[in-house]
């Protein structure tokens, strides 16, 4: 990590939730499986699923800064919001349990499913195991309003509460992936290579924005990062990602802010909606599992990996290019999609 980025990050409270750098590994069997369609592109995975706490995943990097600030401010209760199978909610519950904080989750039924496999399996099982108090809301409910009202109730009882927005995707949360950009740069040096592109899924936009901010500070440019939108349409995703990137850079004291053209988002893998499977996602999850023994989730990384494979097959990258795919975790979600994978292949 260069001194400017590292020094800027030192100004913020951070609660360590990771066990050091997450590893980077080459996906050589996936490369071979792509054959001539691979065009000799070298594919690497940044294993942000490879974390001990709570089953791991990208949200822990954001929570390091949210909870660091919360503990410094003597907060005793964390409230956050998300979908019923939210990975962020699971990891917020786990990190809260680890550090003795009460945790409440406001979860909305944003995916049009009411079957027991989805509503009683996967992440929500773990939310309860970690001791979180869960509030289930209909899909059209405003979870943030409900969370803020609950926070007011608790404050009236003398509690000190922090409400974290969806996905932890704020400028303080963005610091986690700005820090990850520095970590990746250090690993590039150790591995003796340079990544042509860093690829991520884009839901609430914080992971893309944090990485874009970090690489901008490192002089590599925000456009080094490419994401595949899985939650919203292209224009709102672009605007949210640009805003969060700029806010994170401003928080870090960086004066040269990116423009919309610096934010690279591909909308082609979302399918008909958030959390709804696509054939391409199913094939991508199966390919990585069967060639490398690695698991990616069906909502975020599965669709993003499908997008990366499509880009490689369509010749987006040149022979010898190194491309880094950030595995963002979320594998408990696979259990809520069991029948999707039972029905194919």
Whole-number Å distance between alpha carbons of 317 and 39: 8
Q: CA-based angle 196:201:203, to the nearest 5?
A: 145
Q: Among candidates 145, 146, 136, which has minimal Cα distance to 111?
A: 136
Decide: 271 and 278 in contact? Cβ < 8 Å. Answer: yes
Residue 102: Cβ within 10 Å count: 17
Whole-number Å distance between alpha carbons of 37 and 17: 39
Q: Dig out the tokens for 301 from the structure.
A: 């990384």
Whole-number Å distance between alpha carbons of 223 and 219: 11
Q: What are the catalytic residues?
A: 86
Strand pairing category for 42-47 and 24-26:
antiparallel
Residue 129: Cβ within 10 Å count: 13
Count the alpha carbons within 13 Å of 108 in the hemisphere toward its beta carbon: 17
Q: Dig out the tokens for 186 from the structure.
A: 């250090």
């Amino acid at each position: 990590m260069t001194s400017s980025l590292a020094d800027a990050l030192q100004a913020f409270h951070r609660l360590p939730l990771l066990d050091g750098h997450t590893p980077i590994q080459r996906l050589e069997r996936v490369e071979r499986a792509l054959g001539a369609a691979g065009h000799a592109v070298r594919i690497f995975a940044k294993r942000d699923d490879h974390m001990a706490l709570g089953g791991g995943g990208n949200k822990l990097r954001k929570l390091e800064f949210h909870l660091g600030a919360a503990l410094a401010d003597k907060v005793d209760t964390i409230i956050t919001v998300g979908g019923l199978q939210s990975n962020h909610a699971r990891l917020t519950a786990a990190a809260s349990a680890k550090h003795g904080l009460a945790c409440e989750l406001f979860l909305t039924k944003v995916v049009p499913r009411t079957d027991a496999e989805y509503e009683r399996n996967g992440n929500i099982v773990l939310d309860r195991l970690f001791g979180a108090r869960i509030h289930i809301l209909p899909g059209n409910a405003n979870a943030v309003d409900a969370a803020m009202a609950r926070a007011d109730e608790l404050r009236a009882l003398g509690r000190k509460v922090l409400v974290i927005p969806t996905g932890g995707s704020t400028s303080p949360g963005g610091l986690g992936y700005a820090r990850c950009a520095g970590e990746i740069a250090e690993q590039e040096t150790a591995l003796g290579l340079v990544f042509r592109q860093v690829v991520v899924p884009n839901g609430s936009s914080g992971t893309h924005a944090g990485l874009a901010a970090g690489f901008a500070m490192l002089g590599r440019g925000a456009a080094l990062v490419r994401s595949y939108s899985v939650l919203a349409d292209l224009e709102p995703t672009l605007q949210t990602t640009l805003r969060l990137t700029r806010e994170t850079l401003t928080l870090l004291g960086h004066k040269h802010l990116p423009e919309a053209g610096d934010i690279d988002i591909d909308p082609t893998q979302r399918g008909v909606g958030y959390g709804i499977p696509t054939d391409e996602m199913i094939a991508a999850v199966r390919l990585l599992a069967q060639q490398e023994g690695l698991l990616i989730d069906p909502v975020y990384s599965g669709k993003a990996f499908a997008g990366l494979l499509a880009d490689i097959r369509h010749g987006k990258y040149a022979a010898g290019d190194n491309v880094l795919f950030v595995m963002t975790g979320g594998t408990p979600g696979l259990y809520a999609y069991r029948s999707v994978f039972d029905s194919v292949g």
